[in-house]
Amino acid sequence: MVEPFQQAALTAGARKIASSYVDAAPGLTVAMYFTSTELASRDPDLVKRFSEAMKESLAYADSHPDEVRTALGGYTKISPEVRATMILPKWPAEINRDSVQALADLAVTDGLLTTKPDLDKLLP
């Protein structure tokens, strides 16, 4: 169960039977950004600046969990009590290919996908 739903369920009396999704693979990549080939060709400087800004913001979030919890209150309705106990992911600046492969394998094993995605086509 993903956060904040895990903490809300535990607060409501649910019993934890598995670890958090962030434990699905070491150094789990939880989000990635993509752009079109057209935009990357037309405005490579924009893509470069966006990438640099994202790396900086991810590093900041990774080293300031209390500020992340506070920021969540600015655009969600997650209560302060739940935010305080949420298991936050790590925010690495680089894609952890092994963790993406682990998620792809789990998606096939769990029947979410019928064939393994071709990570060579999806990832840089």
Residue 18: its pLDDT value, please?
A: 66
Residue 13 has pLDDT above 80, yes or no: yes
Q: How confident is the model at residue 27 (pLDDT cuts 50, 70, 90)?
A: confident
Cα angle 119-121-123, degrees, rounded to a multiple of 5: 60
Model's pTM, two decimal places?
0.68
pLDDT digits (tens, 9 = 90+) for 56-73: 999 999 999 999 999 999
Q: What is the mean pLDDT of residues 25-45?
A: 90
